[in-house]
């Protein structure tokens, strides 16, 4: 079985999150479709993922462990694509939990539609955390607005096709430990006019940012990455209004447009409480401020 070709591999890039990785692997253990290889790429100097991969709980899973501590996350994804020997390759994050039919529905969709990649639905895992609610709503709105960008939290690729086309993740598209290389790959896919599919039945739950410090940090570095992508692809980023560098103008614009912004984001918030939605909208505007600061920051 070790050298046999299975229909699909699942790639997980992980760094110093062994508890979350274990939770993710437990969800993969319960998949209704069983014929897969798991490619673990450990980006941690201390090999924190290795004991998890050796846990007796996962004896029946076919796990390949690779230690790549010196590479960026996009570079680790590219290595996972090279390590993969199966026709299809799925990506999921280490802080995600997959629905038991996640892989089955992904493979059914790619087979039925003859597509070269399939995107699924990513729901919020930590639904009681206000920072997570805000982050999830903001990201989902802008992904929908921009046409369902590729997302490596929940993605299946025709690995043979992608290798043949020499499509890969931009290894420079990382700032601190955040990356937007999946967005960059989406631009490559659209440029090549490659057919993809989307299914709501390919479902994962993702644990989003859970503190204000992480929330601000993520916003700032996402802004830096947006600047990088803007330079590479000649984009117009709708989240950036350079006039808002003046805090007073930004604040006045927030007050003026708050009701409109609330209506824009509320449908993407996985909570029912009105006050939580108001606070989450405030946090999203805070995110946009730090995103702008990252966008205009000098490297």
Domain ranges of the chain: 8-210, 213-296
The pLDDT value recorded for residue 6 is: 78
pLDDT of residue 2: 40
* CATH code linked to domain 8-210: 3.90.550.10
Closest CA to 95 of 225, 259, 214, 191: 214
- Residues lower than pLDDT 50 in the chain: 1-3
Which is nearest to 137 in space by CA: 227, 232, 267, 287? 267
pLDDT score recorded for residue 218: 97
Confidence (pLDDT) at 234:
86
| Other Cβ atoms within 10 Å of 235 Cβ, number | 15
Q: Using only C-alpha atoms, what is the Rg of the chain? A: 19
Identify the pLDDT of residue 243: 83
Nearest 5°: phi and psi at 16?
A: 55, 40
Angle 130-145/212-233 helices, nearest 10 degrees?
Answer: 20
H-helix segments, 92-168: 102-113, 130-145, 159-164
53 CB-near residues (< 8 Å, 6+ apart): 40, 63, 65
Residues 6+ apart with CB under 8 A from 248: none
- pLDDT at position 3 is 44
Per-residue model confidence (pLDDT) at position 278: 97
Q: Distance (Å, rounded) from C-alpha 76 to C-alpha 41?
A: 7
pLDDT recorded at residue 237: 62
**Spatial separation of the C-alpha atoms in residues 133 and 226, rounded to whole Å:** 22
Q: Contact, 116 vs 196, CB < 8 A? A: yes
Coarse DSSP helix, strand, coil percentages of the chain, rounded to the nearest 5 percent = 50, 20, 35
**What's the pTM value of the predicted model, to 2 decimals?**
0.93
């Amino acid at each position: 079985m070790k050298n046999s070709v299975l229909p699909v591999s699942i790639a997980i890039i992980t760094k110093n999150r062994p508890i979350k990785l274990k939770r993710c692997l437990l969800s993969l253990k319960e998949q209704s479709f069983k014929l897969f290889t798991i490619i673990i790429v450990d980006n941690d100097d201390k090999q924190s993922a290795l004991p998890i991969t050796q846990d007796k709980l996962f004896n029946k899973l076919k796990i390949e462990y690779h230690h790549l501590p010196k590479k960026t996350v996009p570079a680790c994804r590219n290595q996972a694509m090279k390590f993969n020997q199966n026709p299809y390759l799925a990506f999921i994050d280490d802080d995600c939990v997959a629905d038991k039919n996640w892989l089955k529905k992904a493979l059914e969709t790619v087979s039925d539609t003859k597509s070269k990649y399939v995107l699924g639905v990513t729901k919020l895992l930590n639904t009681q955390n206000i920072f997570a609610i805000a982050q999830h709503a903001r990201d989902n709105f802008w992904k929908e607005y921009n046409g369902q960008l590729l997302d490596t939290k929940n993605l299946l690729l025709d690995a043979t096709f992608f290798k043949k086309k020499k499509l890969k993740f931009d290894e420079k598209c990382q700032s601190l430990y955040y990356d937007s290389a999946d967005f960059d790959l989406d631009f490559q896919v659209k440029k090549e006019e490659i057919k993809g599919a989307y299914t709501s039945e390919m479902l994962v739950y993702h644990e989003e940012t859970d503190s204000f410090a992480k929330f601000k940090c993520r916003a700032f570095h996402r802004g830096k990455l947006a600047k990088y992508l803007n330079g590479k692809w000649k984009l117009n980023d709708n989240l950036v209004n350079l006039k808002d560098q003046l805090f007073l103008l930004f604040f006045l614009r927030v007050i003026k447009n708050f009701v409109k912004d609330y209506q824009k984001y509320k449908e993407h918030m996985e909570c029912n409480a009105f006050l939580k939605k108001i606070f989450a909208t405030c946090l999203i505007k805070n995110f946009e401020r730090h995103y702008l600061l990252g966008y205009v920051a000098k490297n």
